[in-house]
Amino acid sequence: MDRRLRHLLDGGFKLRHLQLITAIANNGTLVGAARDLYVTQPVVTRGLREAEEILGVKLFDRGPRGVSPTPFGALLLEHAGMILSSMERLAENIDHLQRSGTRPIRVGTNMTGSYAVLPRALVSLKAAHPALKVSVVEGTDDTLHELLAHRQLDLLIGRMMSKSPQEVTQLHLYDEPIRVMARNGHPALDMTDLRPEDLAAFPWVLPPPTAVASRLGSLFGEVGSWVPVNVIECTSILTIRSILRVTDSLAPLPMLVGTSDADLRMLPLELDAVPRQLGLAYSAENDLSDSAELFIEHLLEVARTIEGELAEARSDAE
């Protein structure tokens, strides 16, 4: 057995070392770490020295303004974050399982998943299992996939990845087109033979750089006057809808948003290049809990209902 692995497993390297090293990195000083951990600076110094001796590498470089992680320290911090978050989730799961008999679920979602399928699935799930705790985390695609990779999410609902990592399983829910939305009475609604370049002069509300935003950008071209210059970046459908209703802004939104909001209209412009597959993602390396399996059952049932609504909406729009 490798010496480092032997020392990591023989009980000498402890969770308190990970907490201490994380506190040092967060503060940039040993004094700050000691303050956060409610210990003295000598305790922090001794703990850091112990960790470095066990691992056989230097974890921090000391400078006039504090300390900064070495490449070894950065590597350890990456794993420390995953280990500590896993321990926090373990404590949460034990507590909830003890009180309710069920394991909590953490579901990640982006703008696409948060407005229809997720709320309906949660309502259905909680009606059948009131004691089951579900935490919802919203964010950008990159942030959510990082959380999923670090096991800080059980499930992720959003646009499907064209190339799924081997450690992630994807399950297709339904296809929903993205359409350009505008307020009732918007000048663009009166335009005939509408082309993308006709819309570049209007204000836009766009998601941060994602598959949707990048594909939409290709619709206008990469350079020249076709590219919108008056842009707000936003991932909140509630905020986007509020902006659209009182301005001449345009925004790419899921089709059902336009059909369910009397204040918004869909422009007659197809966005076929924009990803439309909505799916569920979860770790392929870990078994799903019974709670997560229950949630997926309700999610699939709701997805089938939405699929029928979308077929009707597409028929009405033609």
The band of 100, judged by pLDDT with boundaries at 50, 70 and 90, is low
Share of the chain above pLDDT 90, in %: 25
Mean pLDDT to the nearest integer, 206-224: 58
Mean pLDDT of the chain: 82
Give the Å distances, CA to CA, from 274 to 164, 203, 224, 232, 234.
Answer: 18, 20, 21, 19, 17
Q: 273-293 burial string, b = 16+ CB within 10 Å, else e?
A: ebbbebbbbbbeeeebbebbe
Mean pLDDT to the nearest integer, 137-162: 84
Task: Please report the DSSP string for 176-198 in residue order.
Answer: --EEEEEETT-GGGG-SS--GGG
Q: Give tens-digit pLDDT for 295-315.
A: 999 999 999 999 888 888 777
| Threshold 0.75, pTM exceeds | no
The answer to whether 33 and 23 have CB atoms below 8 angstroms apart is: yes
pLDDT value at 224 more than 50:
no
The band of 178, judged by pLDDT with boundaries at 50, 70 and 90, is confident
- 60-74, 195-209, 251-265, 294-308: which has the highest mean pLDDT? 294-308
The band of 249, judged by pLDDT with boundaries at 50, 70 and 90, is very high
How far apart (Å, rounded) are the C-alpha atoms in residues 199 and 250? 8
The band of 163, judged by pLDDT with boundaries at 50, 70 and 90, is confident
pLDDT of residue 223: 43
How far apart (Å, rounded) are the C-alpha atoms in residues 27 and 194? 55
Question: Is 102 or 222 the better-scoring residue by pLDDT?
Answer: 102
pLDDT of residue 217: 57
